[in-house]
């Protein structure tokens, strides 16, 4: 019985170690993907950042751009059994950002 308990503990420890190393690998890959995605996004938005003010007078930051783009929504509307989709229209500022990123909203 003791051998069985020891074998189960060893198996659990090995599985936990394998899973944690697999998770570390996945997190590293996601981290790299996120880094390269943000880097590419910043490169494409550089004309917007270059024309902006300086220091605290800057209108555009990466965080502000992301917040502005997050406000574009697509929703499913069900009205008396008729289902349709509603997409908010990007304003001029959002359209400029989307244009620089090479993204279209339809």
| Residue ranges of the chain whose pLDDT lies below 70 | 1-20, 22-23, 26-27, 54-56, 106
Instruction: Please indicate, yes or no, if residue 88 is contained in any of the structural domains.
Output: yes
Instruction: Please indicate, yes or no, if residue 106 is contained in any of the structural domains.
Output: no
Q: Residue 44 in contact with residue 101, Cβ under 8 Å? A: yes
| pLDDT of 15 | 46
Count of C-beta atoms within a 10 Å radius of residue 7? 10
Give the count of domains, the chain.
1
82: Cα separation from own chain's centroid: 32
Instruction: Please indicate, yes or no, if residue 23 is contained in any of the structural domains.
Output: yes
Instruction: Please indicate, yes or no, if residue 35 is contained in any of the structural domains.
Output: yes
End-to-end, the C-alpha distance of the chain in Å comes to 65
pTM of the predicted structure, to 2 decimals: 0.62
Instruction: Please indicate, yes or no, if residue 72 is contained in any of the structural domains.
Output: yes
Instruction: Please indicate, yes or no, if residue 105 is contained in any of the structural domains.
Output: no
| pLDDT of 19 | 60
Q: Which domain holds residue 9?
A: 2-100
**How, if at all, do strands 82-87 and 74-79 pair?**
antiparallel
| Interatomic CA distance for residues 3 and 9, integer angstroms | 10
Instruction: Please indicate, yes or no, if residue 96 is contained in any of the structural domains.
Output: yes
């Amino acid at each position: 019985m003791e051998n069985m308990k020891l074998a189960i503990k060893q198996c659990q420890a090995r599985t936990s170690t394998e899973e944690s190393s697999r998770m570390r690998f996945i997190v590293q890959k996601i981290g790299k993907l996120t880094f390269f995605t943000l880097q590419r996004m910043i490169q494409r938005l550089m004309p917007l950042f270059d024309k902006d003010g300086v220091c605290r007078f800057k209108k555009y930051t990466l965080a502000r751009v992301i917040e502005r783009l997050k406000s574009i929504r697509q929703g499913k509307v069900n009205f008396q059994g008729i289902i349709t989709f509603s997409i908010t229209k990007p304003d001029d500022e959002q359209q400029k950002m989307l244009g620089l990123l090479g993204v279209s909203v339809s």
